[in-house]
Amino acid sequence: MTSADWGHDIPLVYASIPETYALIKPHIHQTPVLTSTSLNEYASTPRTPEELAGTEWADPSHVPAKPKIRLYFKCENFQRIGAFKARGAFHAVERLKREEGWLDNGGREKGVVTHSSGNHAQAVALAAREAGIPAHIIMPSNANPVKVAATKALGANVIFSGPTAAEREKVTAEILARLNGEAPEAQEANYSFTPDSTAESGASQQDKKTQPKKATATGTATARLIPPYNHPLTILGQSTVAYELLQQLSPSLQPHAIITPSAEAASSLAPP
């Protein structure tokens, strides 16, 4: 299986989520579900005619509704590395550990690769460290220095790219090719990218050359890409947020709707 097509054999359906959750549960926190009396009261306050002016409910004969709304917050800020991204990273790494022959045929030495500006970078670094495999993380040159430092502190090899998504993906492809012996100039199967112990601007790091390290991997396993989004393993891992939420709420409190903020659709919240 190549670094590009792995993980696509797992159906991206709700039925895959319980198994996913069982795989990652030993490695993640069950984050709390909190509510707020003040926000519930505000959400349940009827709108006045003045507030409804200019909306489809601005009919003078309209009788303001008196909703009783309860809001519950799934606090993934208490998750490991401070974000839900840990779920997708641990899912991918746990699947890799169970892939027949991957660890023993070179995967343990080649490790995993990703690109991220922060949270997914830390998540992959953490999951890889606990699995005892290398993590090669491509971060943009304008990444938050605090997140760069946190990623390095988790033992990852950090490689800087330009600030755009296209530049990150280009460097990611190059690193994968080098690790897997596919690049013309690659004479070694494993590379060390000599991350500094302190977080500094990517601009000062970007031109540093990678330093090849004598390869110890002799098998045919490939380094694997763990995309930050748009990949079945990542999406299924993130989906366990909603799965866990529904388990935590009592049957009488099952939600009418789940709302999630998402910049790049990394999280897919499946219905029960």
Count of beta carbons in the 10 Å neighbourhood of residue 78: 13
**pTM for this model (two decimals):** 0.82
Tens digits of per-residue pLDDT, 101-158?
A: 999 999 999 999 999 999 999 999 999 999 999 999 999 999 999 999 999 999 999 9
Tokens of 237: 């891992």
Asked if pLDDT for residue 267 goes beyond 60, the answer is no
Active site residues: 85, 117
Mean local confidence (pLDDT), 234-238:
96
Query: What is residue 204's predicted lDDT score, i.e. its pLDDT?
Result: 39
Count of beta carbons in the 10 Å neighbourhood of residue 6: 21
Quick one: what percent of the chain has pLDDT higher than 70? 80
Domain borders along the chain are 1-31+85-272
Tens digits of per-residue pLDDT, 172-197?
A: 999 999 999 886 554 343 334 444 43
Query: What is residue 197's predicted lDDT score, i.e. its pLDDT?
Result: 36
CA-wise closest residue to 223 among 183, 251, 166, 258: 183
Between these two residues, 13 and 182, which has the higher pLDDT value?
Answer: 13
Ramachandran category for residue 29: left, alpha or beta (phi over 0 → left; psi -120 to 50 → alpha): beta
Query: What is residue 2's predicted lDDT score, i.e. its pLDDT?
Result: 59
Query: What is residue 96's predicted lDDT score, i.e. its pLDDT?
Result: 97
Residue type, 245: L
Between these two residues, 6 and 96, which has the higher pLDDT value?
Answer: 96
Confidence of residue 170 (pLDDT cuts 50, 70, 90): very high
Count of beta carbons in the 10 Å neighbourhood of residue 39: 13
Tell me the CATH number of domain 1-31+85-272, given options 3.40.430.10, 3.20.20.140, 3.20.20.10, 3.40.50.1100: 3.40.50.1100
Report the run of H or E that residue 151 belongs to, with start and end: helix 145-153
Mean local confidence (pLDDT), 19-23:
98
Asked if pLDDT for residue 198 goes beyond 70, the answer is no
Average pLDDT, the chain: 85
CA-wise closest residue to 126 among 155, 106, 146, 102: 155
State the residue for tokens 């892939």: 99
Specify the 3-state DSSP secondary structure of 165.
helix
Report the alpha-carbon distance of residue 10 to residue 26 in Å, rounded. 21
Report the alpha-carbon distance of residue 132 to residue 64 in Å, rounded. 59
Tens digits of per-residue pLDDT, 202-218?
A: 333 333 433 334 334 45
Report the alpha-carbon distance of residue 134 to residue 113 in Å, rounded. 9
Report the alpha-carbon distance of residue 233 to residue 252 in Å, rounded. 31
Q: What is the DSSP letter of 3?
A: T
CB 121 within 8 A of CB 114: yes
Asked if pLDDT for residue 49 goes beyond 90, the answer is no
